[in-house]
Amino acid sequence: MQARLRKRGKNGHHSYTHTLRKPEQLGQIVEVKTPISQRDWTNMSAQADEHHLKIYKKRRCFLHNNQYFQLDLYQQPCHQRCEGLILLETYSTLHTEELQLVCPHS
């Protein structure tokens, strides 16, 4: 089982989430996300594994051709393999061929 803490914020206001990722069952990975308080986040953060680095990123969300996208821009401090990393992510029920028609491309 994998656990993750998230602190998301804008303009000094934050939300906190605890996520448990359970091992694959019947071909699916199950994630359980629970909103937590700042106090819980602080207490849980104190128990963090020092061998894992925190991730800092800016997320930009947008619609393109009625499809929702998340653009993650990874920031310092980060592992050297993440320097300059930019990820574009989307979720869809469309088939691959249909999705290729609505996704931005050059």
Q: What is the pLDDT of residues 56-78, one digit of tens each?
A: 889 999 998 888 899 999 988 88
Q: How far apart are the C-alpha atoms of 82 and 79, rounded to whole Å?
A: 5
Long-range pairs for 93-99: beta carbons < 8 A, 24 or more residues apart: 99/67
Q: How far apart are the C-alpha atoms of 73 and 104, rounded to whole Å?
A: 18
Long-range pairs for 95-98: beta carbons < 8 A, 24 or more residues apart: none
Q: How far is CA 51 from the centre of its chain?
A: 20
What pLDDT is recorded for position 29? 85
Hey, where are the domains in the chain?
1-50, 53-106
Average pLDDT over every residue of 16-35: 90
* Single-letter amino acid, residue 34: T
* Single-letter amino acid, residue 14: H
> Is residue 11's pLDDT more than 70?
yes
